Amino acid sequence: MSEHEYHFEVKMACSSCSGAVERVLSRLEGVTSYNVNLEKQTVDVKGTVDYDTVLEKIKKTGKQVLAGSVVA
């Protein structure tokens, strides 16, 4: 399986919000790396997992995903 890179704009109000996103990504099989930036309201994910799976996991934290794109 090839590795993909995704970029999401996620509405996060505080460090516990970004922490919740980090927790689900850390447990998600196929994710090789991620960067959750509370200040910029962005989440970048790399891995073999598909886009829709990552999107659903982020949404399940209760955070609003404003935009998402496939980078590579």
Tokens at 52, concatenated:
């829709």
Could you tell me which residues come within 8 angstroms of residue 55 by beta carbon, excluding any fewer than 6 positions away?
Answer: 8, 65, 68
> Does residue 72 have a pLDDT over 80?
no
- Can you give the pTM of this predicted structure? 0.94
Q: Which domains does the chain have, with CATH numbers?
A: 4-70 (3.30.70.100)
At 1-50, the pLDDT tens digits run: 799 999 999 999 999 999 999 999 999 999 999 999 999 999 999 999 99
Closest CA to 49 of 65, 29, 33, 35: 29
Cα separations in angstroms, 20 against 27, 35, 61, 63, 70: 11, 13, 6, 9, 22
pLDDT at 70: 96
